[in-house]
């Protein structure tokens, strides 16, 4: 296991979460001058994105995240994203949060599988951060938080060897190995089978610094080439034109980690025996026009409405439903396997010994991975920091 994997896992999953939320919220936005008091506007969407990103890139939280440590358990990591998603006026119930987390994890798993070389996982992370910076381009303070994390990534990961990145990739694959949730966007593109396993391509660009397969060179004991033999490959391979930039700004070249939801189309997770295949019922618009009334109506039917909640303090909160209807959301919540369901745990972290003992007890129930010597203790610091943000 690599002790440098957690920041990459957290940032990439967080980037996928922001892609999904932005797409859902844009679909429900109504122009401010036309919206009623209880309707969702683009101002509300920006506020949600700003609040979540500001919390996600909190300086103290990032400092704790980047400490060398083992990955936390799936339940502990999921708790962090529960709190992130609810760091604003938006509210998700358990079924929609489950669905959101399924989409996040399967998207990043696919990206890790497709990385031409282990070091390219860093380019995937940079693509996510580049997109996040676009979300908050008009908020200089939050943008500075993201840039600070970006620089920390460069200082921490750019010097690592290829062997260390291979260990990071293996750690990520171990984390994802039992997740086989079907996602309609992958099923439609025929990159995922009906059993939830991905179909990996046998053609395309080879990793940077390698040659297109098809040639065998034979050398003698002095290192002199004495013979060549060619063979036919099953795939159609090409040499990449250039390497992606690992700096703060630049062309990443690699497209993995960019926003695949920028083109409007249905994105649903499918649980065997518990969810309906909405993708087969929805007619996809190949050339969507988000300004057209018909398209907005289609999106409303596809994504479901945003119901208004009245949280404490008198401020209206917005509930985001990632299912088509409230009925399907309730059905998913009722049929969700118990072992895949999670609850948001509120933890009040202080320096008092009694409170610290209680915090350790709660985190122990989350089955957090045991830390390595000198690393953060059982996920305590990260979750405590998140609770205080």
Tokens 């939280």 belong to 61
- % of the chain with per-residue pLDDT over 70: 64
Distance CA 83, CA 262 (A): 25
Query: What pLDDT does 375 receive?
Result: 38
Give the tens place of pLDDT for each residue, 136-148. 999 999 999 999 9
Does some domain include residue 288?
no
Instruction: Give the side-chain half-sphere CA count within 13 A for 331.
Output: 12
Say what the pTM is.
Answer: 0.71
Does some domain include residue 283?
no
Tokens 């059993």 belong to 195
Distance CA 187, CA 307 (A): 30
- Residues 6 or more apart whose Cβ sits within 8 Å of residue 112: 121, 124, 169, 172, 173, 176
- % of the chain with per-residue pLDDT over 90: 38
Question: Quick check: 278 pLDDT over 80?
Answer: no
Kindly give the residue spans of alpha helices, DSSP state H, lying in 306-379.
Answer: 326-335, 353-365
Query: What pLDDT does 73 receive?
Result: 83
Does some domain include residue 98?
yes
- Residues 6 or more apart whose Cβ sits within 8 Å of residue 338: none
Does some domain include residue 280?
no
Q: Are 243 and 253 in contact (CB under 8 A)?
A: yes
Give the tens place of pLDDT for each residue, 62-113. 998 999 988 888 888 888 898 888 888 888 888 888 889 999 999 999 999 9
Does some domain include residue 131?
yes
Buried-exposed string 167-193: b where 16+ CB fall within 10 A, e elsewhere? bbbebbeebbeeeebbbbbbbeeebbe
Q: Over range 123-142, report the average pLDDT.
A: 94
Query: What pLDDT does 383 receive?
Result: 54
Structural domain range at position 345 = 5-212+244-263+293-349
CA neighbor of 67 nearest in space, from 283, 356, 377? 377
Question: Quick check: 373 pLDDT over 50?
Answer: no
Pairing of strands 215-219, 225-230: antiparallel
Tokens 């509300």 belong to 44
Question: Quick check: 275 pLDDT over 90?
Answer: no
Query: What pLDDT does 38 receive?
Result: 54
Does some domain include residue 278?
no
DSSP 300: H
Average pLDDT of every residue of the chain: 75
Helix 120-135 to helix 94-114 angle (10° resolution) is: 140
Does some domain include residue 385?
no
Most confident of 92-96, 197-201, 314-318: 197-201
Query: What pLDDT does 51 receive?
Result: 92
Distance CA 79, CA 310 (A): 23
Q: Over range 176-187, report the average pLDDT.
A: 90
179 or 279: whose pLDDT is higher?
179
Domain count, the chain: 1
pLDDT band at residue 26, thresholds of 50, 70 and 90? confident
pLDDT band at residue 134, thresholds of 50, 70 and 90? very high
Does some domain include residue 285?
no
**198 three-class SS:** strand
Pairing of strands 317-319, 90-91: parallel
């Amino acid at each position: 296991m690599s002790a440098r994997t957690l920041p990459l896992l957290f940032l990439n999953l967080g980037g996928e979460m922001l892609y999904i939320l932005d797409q859902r919220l844009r679909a429900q936005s109504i122009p401010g001058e036309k919206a009623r008091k209880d309707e969702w506007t683009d101002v509300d969407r920006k506020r949600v994105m700003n609040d979540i990103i500001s919390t996600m890139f909190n300086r103290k939280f990032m400092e704790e995240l980047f400490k060398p440590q083992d990955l936390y358990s799936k339940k502990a990591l999921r708790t962090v994203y529960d709190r992130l998603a609810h760091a604003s006026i938006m509210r998700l119930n358990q079924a929609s949060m489950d669905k959101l987390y399924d989409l996040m994890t399967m998207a990043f798993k696919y990206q890790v599988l497709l990385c031409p070389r282990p070091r390219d996982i860093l380019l995937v992370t940079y693509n996510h951060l580049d997109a996040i910076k676009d979300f908050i381009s008009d908020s200089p303070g939050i943008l500075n938080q993201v840039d600070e994390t970006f620089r920390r990534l460069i200082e921490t990961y750019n010097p690592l060897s290829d062997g260390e990145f291979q260990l990071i990739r293996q750690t990520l694959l171990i984390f994802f190995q039992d997740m086989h949730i079907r996602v309609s966007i992958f099923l439609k593109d025929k990159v995922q089978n009906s059993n939830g396993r991905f179909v990996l391509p046998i053609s395309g660009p080879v990793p940077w610094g390698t040659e297109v397969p098809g040639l065998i060179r034979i050398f003698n004991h002095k290192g002199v080439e004495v013979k060549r033999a060619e063979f036919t490959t099953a795939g159609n391979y090409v040499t990449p034109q250039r390497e992606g930039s690992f700096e703060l700004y630049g062309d990443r070249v690699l497209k993995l980690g960019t926003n695949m939801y920028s083109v409007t189309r249905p994105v649903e997770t499918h649980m065997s025996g518990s969810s309906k295949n909405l993708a087969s019922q929805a007619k996809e618009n190949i050339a969507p026009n988000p300004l057209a009334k018909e398209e907005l109506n289609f999106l409303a039917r596809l994504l479901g409405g945003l119901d208004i909640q009245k949280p404490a303090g008198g401020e209206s909160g917005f509930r985001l439903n990632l299912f088509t209807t409230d009925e399907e959301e309730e059905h998913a919540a009722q049929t969700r396997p118990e072992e895949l369901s999670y609850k948001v745990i509120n933890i009040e972290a202080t320096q008092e010994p009694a409170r610290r003992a209680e915090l350790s007890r709660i985190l122990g129930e989350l089955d957090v991975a045991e830390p390595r010597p000198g690393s953060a203790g059982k996920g305590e610091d990260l979750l405590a920091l998140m609770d205080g943000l």
